[in-house]
Structure 1
Amino acid sequence: MFEQIAGHLDKNPDAVRRRVVAIERLMERSMTIPGTNHPVGLDFLLNFIPVVGSFIGAAMGSYMLWEARNLGMSKWQMARMAGNVGTDWALGLIPIVGAVPDFFFRSNTRNLRIIRKHLDRHHPATVTVEG
């Protein structure tokens, strides 16, 4: 059943770029802490749900890894991305204190950078100018 649902997602590199940018924004930069200019996202907030929050964050972060596999990215790139998700997951297992490293270690942003580099090199027509 999952394959049927997944098969409906557009595998066009431009569509993939839009989806991974959207998931990174949701997970890492969807809101700003009042009184600061530091953006945080769902990944940071999930750390306040002991243990389960870390697993939810890792599952959502793994979506970018799935998109990377669909793009045909190298095993080395995917291993780096998995390492980022795994590090974020492990740090998030520490109740409450796990939110502190997540404030600085943004695995989804790191993974987006890896995917963008691949897309820029192998699918240059998908490059967008960011402002």
Structure 2
Amino acid sequence: MTEVADSARRLKRVEALADLLDTRFRIPGTRIPIGADGILSIVPVVGDTVAGAMSAWLIWEAYRMGARKRTLARMLGNAGVDYVVGSIPVIGTIFDIAFKANSRNLALLKRELAQMEPEGTRRI
């Protein structure tokens, strides 16, 4: 498999995970998106740890796709804030629903990949 095809496949998986964690569902009767991260945070510490592990996988994939250390550090910062604040009962659940760390990290990764493209070509 070519490097470009491999990166495209990785990015699709990262997009699917970010969607699952941050926006896959809607709070009934509203337009507010919620994902597994917000739902899991109802179970203090354990739920946030599970969501944090999935966020770590997303960052690992960004590393494997060649993201720079600066971008990876920003992604780790987003995930860290999400984990720490998200672990606070009640307030953390509301924060998890609003902050969307994985969607932020996906945007960082896409911006990074776009900057990595050689002039006049499209990587993904």
Task: Judge same fold: TM > 0.5, yes or no.
Answer: yes
**Alignment match, 2:90:** 96
Are 1:77 and 1:114, in contact at CA under 8 Å, matched by a contact in 2? yes
Structure 2 stretches lacking a partner, 5+ long: none
**Alignment match, 1:64:** 58
**Alignment match, 2:20:** 26
Residues of 2 paired with 1:121 and 1:50: CA distance? Answer: 38
Residue type of the alignment partner of 1:84: N
Runs of 4+ in 1 over 3 A off after TM superposition: none
Q: How many residues align?
A: 117
Residue type of the alignment partner of 2:123: A
What is the Cα-based RMSD across aligned positions, in Å? 1.5
Residues of 2 paired with 1:75 and 1:119: CA distance? Answer: 13
Map 1:48-59; keep pairs closer than 5 Å: 48-59=42-53
Residue type of the alignment partner of 1:117: R
Residue type of the alignment partner of 1:121: Q
User: TM-score w.r.t. structure 2 length?
Assistant: 0.88
Residues of 2 paired with 1:113 and 1:77: CA distance? Answer: 11
**Alignment match, 2:67:** 73
**Alignment match, 2:99:** 105
Residues of 2 paired with 1:51 and 1:64: CA distance? Answer: 20
State the Cα deviation string for residues 47-99 of structure 1 (Å, max 9, x = none).
10011111111111111110011012111110000000000000111112211
% of aligned pairs identical? 35
**Alignment match, 1:120:** 114
Residue type of the alignment partner of 2:53: A
